[in-house]
Amino acid sequence: MSPTRAVAAFCAALCVASFLTFAQRKKKSEEEVTQVLELPPDPPSTVTIDTSRLKFVTTPLTAKGLLSQQVRDSLKILMSQTKGMTAGKIRAFVAGTGDMRRVQSIVSDVFTEKRHPLPVLSVVQVGGLPLEAAQVQLEAWVQDKKPANPAGIVFLSGQQVTSESRTSRMRPMVEKSVANLKLALEGSGSGASDVLRVTCFLTSLDDIQDVRGIVGEAFPGAPAAFAMTQRAPSQSLVECEAVARLKTAPARAVVFLNPSGLAASPNYSQAAATNAPKLVLAGAQMAFRYTEADARLAFQRLDKTLHGAGTSLKNAIFVNTYPLSPLLADLVRKVRFDYLDQANPPASTMLPFEGLPSMDGAFSLEVVALPGQ
């Protein structure tokens, strides 16, 4: 090959190599641009809400689509029902085998897209919901535009009724649980028309229409939710909890009540009445694995979270606990008063559920606390 041709060939090869290098760099640059996606923010650990403007909304069940679509549809309905209000907390009961972790990402996506403040979030897997193919039920705590609870509110502990038989009918057990809720209401000076929200946990949905009728007749107008706790419970159980508007403000920021006719326990109060101007709502704190040290770590983390909001577990007035077995519930009972105020035990609901958003989750905790250390 002549020197001239050799030089030409070299220049051509150099041009091809340069072009390929440029193309590869451009492709890599374009891929990097398209792959860098902004992640939605996590929901906050706590939210402070105005007690006098607290309102509850329960979204209707839908059987359309799978979990992701049902969550989005439920959030759309929620935002339509609460225009001009601020969502402080969402509790999601998830049924079926969908990935519960999707609930958090969808809530974050939707609220961020709408430029709404993110609520705290609790997600719990239940054994079933009272509509075939329904996979999610949302309960929302929202701050209304106008005060509706000038004297404050009262949290009513879950009224548990059990039977050793796994096949007991729910209707008589719900009737008893609702009757006990009414006693707690009367003890706080409130009535059935003051109920802001009622939630009933059951081990069977076989007679759900009767159950709905009992609760609807007892507390007309109150948003109500129903969930089957586990698919294979060890016993028959009903536990209905509620929140109501107070007619008369309590003498102190919070008064713990154990009305006559209801069991008095050193471990929880039957009701917690408060007229504190603000309440701190904490999202669910999960405990991972199954030792006492693991349980303590969950309480410690939740306490640290509350300290960041200017309060602590000692100021808790209502506690929901979601263990995955009776043994894990016993573990919670063993350690909780190293962190809660045993002299003034909060109102409480605790019973076993189907699952949590983590494979190694053992139980989760959520609290309502008064501001202040």
Q: In this predicted model, what pLDDT tens digit does every residue of 134-191 receive, in sequence order?
A: 999 999 999 999 999 999 999 999 999 999 887 789 999 999 999 999 999 999 999 9
CB 153 within 8 A of CB 246: yes
326-368 tens-digit pLDDT: 999 999 999 999 999 999 999 999 999 999 999 999 999 999 9
Task: Work out the average pLDDT over 272-282.
Answer: 98
pLDDT at 40: 72
Confidence of residue 297 (pLDDT cuts 50, 70, 90): very high
Residue in 166, 359, 340, 372 with CA at minimum distance from that of residue 350: 340
User: Is the pLDDT reported for residue 9 higher than 80?
Assistant: no
Residue 250, helix vs strand vs coil: coil
User: Is the pLDDT reported for residue 37 higher than 80?
Assistant: no
89-139 tens-digit pLDDT: 999 999 988 899 999 999 999 999 999 999 999 999 999 999 999 999 999
Residue 366, helix vs strand vs coil: strand
Question: Does the domain at residues 276-373 carry the CATH identifier 3.40.50.720?
Answer: no
Between CA 109 and CA 145 the distance in angstroms is 24
CB 57 within 8 A of CB 223: yes
CB 173 within 8 A of CB 231: no
**Matching CATH topology for 38-146 and 276-373?**
yes
Question: Does the domain at residues 149-249+259-266 carry the CATH identifier 3.40.50.720?
Answer: no
pLDDT at 345: 97
Confidence of residue 271 (pLDDT cuts 50, 70, 90): very high
- pTM of this prediction? 0.88
Task: For the chain, give every domain's residue range.
Answer: 38-146, 149-249+259-266, 276-373
- For 302, the token pair is 């939740």
The residues that bridge with 286 in the sheet, in sequence order, are 364
Residue 13 CB partners (closer than 8 Å, separation 6+) = none
pLDDT at 16: 42
pLDDT at 372: 87
Question: Does the domain at residues 38-146 carry the CATH identifier 3.30.1330.40?
Answer: yes
CB 130 within 8 A of CB 99: no
Residue in 84, 187, 229 with CA at minimum distance from that of residue 142: 84
Between CA 255 and CA 249 the distance in angstroms is 10
Q: Within 10 A of 266 (CB to CB), how many other CB atoms are there?
A: 9
pLDDT averaged over the chain? 91
